[in-house]
Structure 1
Amino acid sequence: MRRIWVLGMAAGTLGAIPHALRAYAEEPRDFLFKWALALVPYSAWAVLGPLVLAVFQRVPLERPRLGRGLGVLLVAGAGFVQVHLLLLAGALAALQRWGAMGVPFLEGTWRLLLERGALGYFEYLLFLAAWTALRTTRRLRERELAESRLAVRLAESRLQALRAQLDPHFLFNTLNAVAGLVRQQRNPEAVEAIAELGHLLRASLEGRGDHEVLLEDELELVRRFLGIEQLRFGAHLDVHLAPAPDTLKARVPALILQPLVENAIKHGIARRAAHGHLRVSSARQGHRLLLEVRDDGPGLGAGGAGGTGIGVTNTRARIRQLYGEPYGLTLEDLPEGGVVAKVELPFLEWKKDMADLERPSHA
């Protein structure tokens, strides 16, 4: 309200200048006095301004009572114009010395009514139109902001749901790997796998509220998961992590690689009778980050790595939810055999100050 009042006063001050200049052209003296006289009508509106704005606020122009509200404001305008003329008459009677000029107050007021009555009502309508436009604009902005916040909360809820669905899937599959070692009576490997699982769970729980993590932290999680799988497969599994050094500080969705690695082992390498190879790499291509998980299993066409499991499906959904359609996940057969899972993300580097604030403490 205060801003509207100040803007109205500024507009009135500028609007009085042409009237003062015209009067000064007719009688070239006392410009400031003529300007003050031209400011009197706007000053009177300034005095009434808080009351006018209070009425505007109490009588909103909204459906279904739009017609009734408009009628009330139009009738109130007639009353405000009368009060404005009385204030204007009092100020002009003092400044122009009506008494010394032999002009009775009622006669001067009647002349003002004839000269400025219609103009005053037009000024009131301008105030009403400006107020309505400003209020409508503000409410549109508030609605857009509310819708934006709702969209963010909805996106957060969807991501939390996807993360909640993924974590148990990750945990159960890891426990199955440990159980396989126990069934094979490979107790030392089982104990080591349980220790690695503890590290995995700690890392997962510490970052549970984070939708994005450093790539180097994500690779550490993958390394521990692959450590368990190597205990299970032994010499049957050969792992190679090859991230580009300039990508390690990039931001990636939490648990983005582990489902793809798990998918490659389960549907690719586990189906091979011979030695299996798994390669995880990252590279920067302009403003994009490319992550790849390659295996030398039987391939998609031979009934190998599937693309509709919960891990792959959730990964696609999370990328789409976080970054939109230009980014995503694809699975392709390799010419030499095997499958490559390619993840394309925007390259967003994690700044040091952001990392200090958002990375979990390991103290």
Structure 2
Amino acid sequence: MAESIDPRQRPRFWLIHCGGWLGYGLVSALGALPYRNAFPVLMYFLGTTAMAFLASPIILAISYRLAVAKASWPRTFAVVIACAYPMGILCSTTGAALETVFGHPPAASSQWYSILFVGFANAFSPTLMLAAWAALYRGAWHWQEAQQRERQWLLAETLAREAELKALRYQITPHFLFNTLNGVSTLVGEGETTAARRMIALLADFLRSTLEPTRQGDVSMAKELTQVQQYIEIEQIRLGWRLAATVQCDADVLDTPVPHLLLQPLVENAIRHGIAPFVEGGSLSLAVTGAGDAVRIAIRNRAGGMPGKRLQGGGLGLANTRARLAARYGEDYRFAADVAEGGWDTVIDIPRHAAVSAQA
């Protein structure tokens, strides 16, 4: 991974690199202006800066190797200083040589001695600049490495959630399909061919919309309610007058993204466990309302003629719903399913604006 995140591979890095050294050279050149004979001093600063610029890729390569090796900061500091100081001497000596050439050189016997003396004496400034540049590079390397790790973690988390949502969705679809086919078989056996054909047509429409590709399993609330109403109509064909259902939704939340097939298993549980087993049938209400940045989904079923009975049920539908909400919203949701007298009360609170837009 280290090879792929080397900041030197980015063109923007070299623009900053060249711009930084150019700025350092200009500031150094301004330091020559107070001198009476400024030109030789100017050549000293320009020569030192030019040599430091040429030496900087070497110190960056050393810093890169230390970063790849995960060297500690004390070891990195020691190695960088040990390498930067000889380079600083070379840079300062180069500047002193240019100053001598363009200025007034001393006697021939002491010319090179003076140049070397100036090189050693003035090596601190270029050494400091090279070490500082190496430290900035190491910081950029660590920042870019952290960014890449965060992107990889987010990608892995997204893929894991997508896989979990798909697995849960593949559990729901066959569960509903088998129940509906059993209903069709019952109608055919009772001679209700018209109702059976209508149920088959509704089942085909439901499965067609179910198998449409969606982004991370999200659809709009409007589409989710359309599929729920298709399912309710299928059950009304099977149960007849024994099922009274109402579906209400605020207009301003119809475009809210929700996980695909989130509500169908809850409605299915409410009908199968809370209404179908009883001769008197019962009622089902589904209400979707918006309040601020949240959307509340309330599902309520009651068994007719048995107001005091506490019904049991839930199972796979509730477990899948809780798991899908956790996978999709993390901790930013509320799910409550409580047994009430004569039925169930299920409440879901989700954000109005989810991170992934729905496909209507």
Instruction: Quote the Cα distance in structure 1 between the aligned partners of 2:72 and 2:337.
Output: 59
Bigger RCO (CA 8 Å, 6+ sep): 2
Instruction: Kindly indicate whether the alpha-carbon contact (under 8 Å) linking 1:61 and 1:69 is maintained by their aligned counterparts in 2.
Output: no
Pairing partner for 1:92 from 99, 112, 135? 99
Q: CA deviation at 1:261?
A: 0.7
Alignment coverage as a number of residue pairs = 346
> Which of 234, 240, 247 pairs up with 1:241?
247
| 1: CA distance, partners of 2:353 / 2:283 | 30
Partner of 1:345: 350
Where does residue 17 of structure 2 map in the other structure? 5
Distance 1:91 1:177, change over 3 A: farther
Q: Secondary structure at the match of 2:245?
A: strand
Equivalent residues in 2 for 1:265-280 (5 A)? 265-280=271-286
Contact in 2 for aligned 1:212/1:252 (Cα 8 Å): yes
Q: Which residue of 2 aligns with 1:293?
A: 299
166-175 vs 253-262, which moves further? 166-175
Is residue 2:154 matched to residue 1:142?
no
| Larger mean Cα displacement after TM superposition, 41-50 or 29-38 | 29-38
Aligned to 2:176: 170
Residues in 2 aligned to 1:305 and 1:98: alpha-carbon distance in whole angstroms: 103
> What residue in structure 1 maps to residue 162 of structure 2?
156
Which of the residues 214, 221, 227 maps onto 2:220?
A: 214
**Offset at 1:196?**
0.8
- Aligned residue for 2:49? 42
Distance 1:301 1:210, change over 3 A: farther
User: CA–CA distance in 2 between the matches of 1:31 and 1:88?
Assistant: 14
Query: Hey, what's the Cα distance between the residues in 2 that align with 1:61 and 1:224?
Result: 59
Per-residue deviation, 1:124:
3.2
Look up the match of 1:251.
257
Shift in CA distance, 128/344, structure 1 to aligned 2, threshold 3 Å: same
Q: TM-score, normalised by structure 1?
A: 0.81
Distance 2:122 2:90 in 1: 12
Q: Which moved more, 1:185-194 or 1:214-223?
A: 185-194
Shift of 1:118: 4.4
Q: Which secondary structure state, in structure 2, belongs to the residue aligned with residue 270 of structure 1?
A: coil
Among candidates 229, 234, 237, match of residue 231 of structure 1: 237
CA contact (8 A) 1:238 1:278 kept: yes
Give the TM-score normalised by structure 2. Answer: 0.82
Could you say what the CA RMSD is over the residues aligned between the two structures, in angstroms? 3.4
Q: 1:210 to 1:184 in 2, by over 3 A?
A: farther
Kept after mapping to 1: 8 A contact 2:90/2:119 = no
Q: Deviations over 1:110-139 (max 9, x none)?
A: 122231234443443333323222222221
How far residue 205 of structure 1 moved from its aligned partner, in angstroms, is 0.7
Distance 1:303 1:183 in 2: 33
- Cα distance change, pair 210–57 in 1 and its aligned pair in 2 (3 A): closer
**Offset from partner CA, 1:114-172 (integer Å, 9 cap, x none):** 31234443443333323222222221222222222222222222222222222222222
- Is the contact between residue 98 and residue 105 of structure 1 (CA under 8 Å) also seen in structure 2? no
Greater shift after overlay, 247-256 or 63-72? 63-72
Shift of 1:203: 0.4
Matches of 1:278 and 1:118, distance apart in 2: 83
Within 5 Å, which residues of 2 pair with 1:306-321? Answer: 306-307=313-314, 309-321=315-327
Contact 2:274 2:311 in 1 (8 A): yes
Contact 2:336 2:346 in 1 (8 A): yes
Name the stretch that deviates more: 325-334 or 8-17: 8-17
- Superposition deviation, residue 283 in structure 1: 0.5
State the identity as a percent.
27
Is the CA contact 2:242–2:282 (under 8 Å) kept in the aligned structure 1? yes
Q: Distance in 1 between matches of 2:194 and 2:37?
A: 104
Q: CA 1:255/1:33 → structure 2, altered by over 3 Å: closer, same or farther?
A: farther
Matched, 1:133 2:136: no
Give the AA of the match of 2:56.
G
Q: Structure 1 residues 341, 147: CA separation in 2 closer, same or farther (over 3 Å shift)?
A: same
Q: Distance in 1 between matches of 2:112 and 2:354?
A: 77
